A and B are shown apart, each in its own frame.
Chain A
C-alpha cells in the first residue's frame, strides 16, 4: 500500500538568544490509509510539535530547518499560507486536547459544521445542513436533529470532543491528526472516543496520527506505534511488539513503569533521572545518561533506526556488526 503521509528527516528548530534549540531531530515515519499510528513519549519529547509541523501550525520562531513532509505524494511543508489553509481541514483534520478552545462559543455547532463544510466542499445550505446532522449522528450525539442548533456550552465534555471530531472529519480529510484527544475526558467517555476513532479508520479508511502519553489508549487503538524521546524517534513498530517485547531500553523502561490493572507488583520499575532539556542534549544517544545498558559507543555516536525483531529501534544494542 502506498503511504498517505510520509515524513522524511524532519528537523524543527527554535532559534533563541542562547543558540538554536533542536526540538525535532531527523524524524522519519509514514502512515498508510486506514492505519492508526500512535505517537507516544513524555512531555517535551516532541509529540505535539510533530503534529503541529504536519498541520502547518508551527508557532514562530519554530521552523522546519530541514526534511520533507509529503501528503499523497505532494510535498506540503513548503506551501504558502493560503495553499495550506485549503489543505488543512480538507485533507488534514485536527483534533486537540481541549474541546472548549477548539469550538467557537458564539456559534451553534450546526453553523460551525456547515461553515467548515462549505469552506471546503461545494454544498448548498440544505445539503450542508443534512450532512451536519449525519455527522453528529455518526459520532454518537443523541437526538442530533434537535441539538444541531445548540451551542458548545450546552454539551458535556465528551459530547464536545465528539463535535470536534465531527468538525475535523466533515470535509472528509484523508488524514486525522489527533493530539491527546481523550486526555481531558473521564475513562468511560474516553472509551467511547477510542471506539469512534477505531471505527473511522476501519470504515472510512482515514489515516489517523494519534498523539498521546497514555500507553493504554495507544495499546487499544493503534496499529503501529512510534516512540519519541528528546525530539528523536527511538523505536517504531507494530503495537503488539512495542508493548510486549520492546527493543529499545527506553521503551522497555516506559512499559515497565506503567502500573497494571491485572497484577500488582511490590515496586514499579522506574527510570531514574529525567529527559534532558533541549539546551543540554547529551552527545551520542540522547537516552545514554539514563540507560541501564549503556556502553562507550552510546556516549559518542548517535544510533539510527536499526532492525530489531519486529520493530526498529535507534539503539546500538541492535547493531550486530558493530
Chain B
C-alpha cells in the first residue's frame, strides 16, 4: 500500500529565549524547546494513524508539521512521495491536505454565512467556475455531513457545538482532500455528540477513502478510530505500531501506565495505584530516556543512554531499554 504521509526523523525546535537585553543583563543563555524530537512514522492510504500523549508531548506540533504549518528543523516529511515543502508550494497538492480543529467555536468565522465558510477552499483553489456550480457543491457537502442546504444561509452562532464541527468537516472536505489532520476533533464536544462526529468521520473515510492523522488525548476515542497508533512522550514516539497490537499488549512502561490510568466504565469502585510525578519540562528534559524519572523499571542505563525504537514480534516499535532487555515483562 502507498504511504500518503511519510515522516522521517523529524525534529522541531522552538527558540524560547528571553529577549536579548534581558539575556545580557541576566547573563542568560539562549533556550530551545525541542517539541518534536527525531520522530518517524508513515500512514498508508485510507487508514487512520492516531497520536496520543499528555499535554506538552508535542502531538499538536506534529499535526502542524504534517499539514505544513511548521517547517521541520531537521528531517523530512513526504506527502504522496513528494517533499511536503515542495507540495505546499503547488496549489494542486496543497488542496489535498486539510485540517479539522479542536474548537468549533474558534475555527469558524462568526461573520460569515455557512455557505461562504464551506465554499472558501473551493474559491481559494479555483476548483469550480461559476456561482451555481459552487452552490451545488456546497449543498452536496452540507448534505454529506448531515446538514441541510438551508443551513448554509445561517451563521455559526445558530448551531450547536456538534453541528459546528460538522461545518468544519464540510469545509475541510470541500477541496476534495486525500489527507485530513484532525487535532482533537471531539474534545470540545459532549459524549453523545462525540459519537455522532466519530461515526461521521468513519463513514466519510469509508466512502471517500480518506487518510486521517488523528491527534487525541482520549485513548478510548483512539481505540475506536485508529488503525495505527503512536504514543508520544516529551516529543518522542515511545511506542508505535498496529493499534490492536498495542491495546492488546502494551509494551512500553509509559503506554502501560497511560492505559492503566484511564478511568473506565467497567471498573466501578476500582481503587488505583496511581502514577506519581508530572511530565518534566521539555526545555530541560531528563538525560537518557526522558521517561526514567517516572518509570518503575528504570535502571542505570536508562538514566544515561537514550533508547532507540526496536521492533518487537508483532510489528510494534518500542523505544525502551527494559523491553529490549526483557526486564520486568
A interface residues with partner B (beta carbon < 8 Å): 42-43, 156-159, 186-192, 194-195, 198, 213-217, 219-221, 239-240, 243, 253-255, 257-262, 264-265, 267-272, 274
- Residue from the set B259, B267, B271, B278 with the largest chain A CB neighbour count within 10 Å: B278
**Alpha-carbon distance A254/B224, docked complex (angstroms):** 16
Complex contact A191–B265 (CB within 8 A): no
Name 8 interchain pairs, CB-CB below 8 A, sorted by A.
Answer: A42-B193, A43-B161, A187-B263, A188-B275, A213-B190, A254-B191, A257-B192, A270-B192
What separation, in Å, do the CA atoms of A113 and B172 have in the docked complex? 49
- Do the beta carbons of A271 and B192 come within 8 Å of each other? yes
**Contact in complex: A239, B257 (CB < 8 Å):** no
The listed residue (B54, B191, B217, B258) touching A215 by CB distance below 8 A is B191
Further 19 A-B residue pairs, CB within 8 A, beyond A219-B263, A220-B269: A156-B278, A186-B55, A187-B262, A189-B278, A191-B275, A192-B275, A195-B272, A216-B262, A217-B263, A219-B265, A220-B264, A220-B268, A220-B270, A240-B269, A261-B264, A262-B264, A271-B192, A271-B195, A274-B160
Chain A to chain B: the 6 pairs with minimum beta-carbon distance, closest first: A216-B263, A257-B195, A42-B190, A186-B54, A259-B224, A268-B195
User: Would B192 and A267 count as touching, CB distance under 8 A?
Assistant: no
Instruction: Please give me the residue from chain B that is nearest to A268 by CB atom.
Output: B195
Which of B18-26, B196-204, B320-328 touches A? B196-204
Contact B192 A264 (CB under 8 A): no
- Taking the closest CB of chain B, its distance from the CB of A225, in whole angstroms, is 10
- Alpha-carbon separation in the docked complex, A189 to B219 (Å): 15
User: What separation, in Å, do the CA atoms of A318 and B276 have in the docked complex?
Assistant: 46
| In the complex, B93 has a CB within 8 A of chain A | no
Interface assignment of B162: CB less than 8 Å from any CB of chain A: yes
A220 with B224: CB separation less than 8 A = no
Tell me whether B88 is interfacial, beta carbon within 8 Å: no
Tell me, in angstroms, the Cα distance from A190 to B224 when the chains sit together: 22
User: Within the assembled complex, what's the spacing in Å between the Cα atoms of A220 and B54?
Assistant: 21
Q: Is B223's CB within 8 Å of the partner chain A?
A: yes
B198/A268 in contact, CB under 8 A: yes
User: Is B274 on the interface with A (CB-CB < 8 A)?
Assistant: yes
A156 to B260, CA, bound (A): 22
Q: Which listed residue (A186, A240, A255) contacts B268, Cβ 8 A? A: A240
A261 and B191 contact, Cβ closer than 8 Å, known pairs A220-B267, A270-B196: no
Residue of A159, A239, A274 touching B193 (CB-CB under 8 A): A274
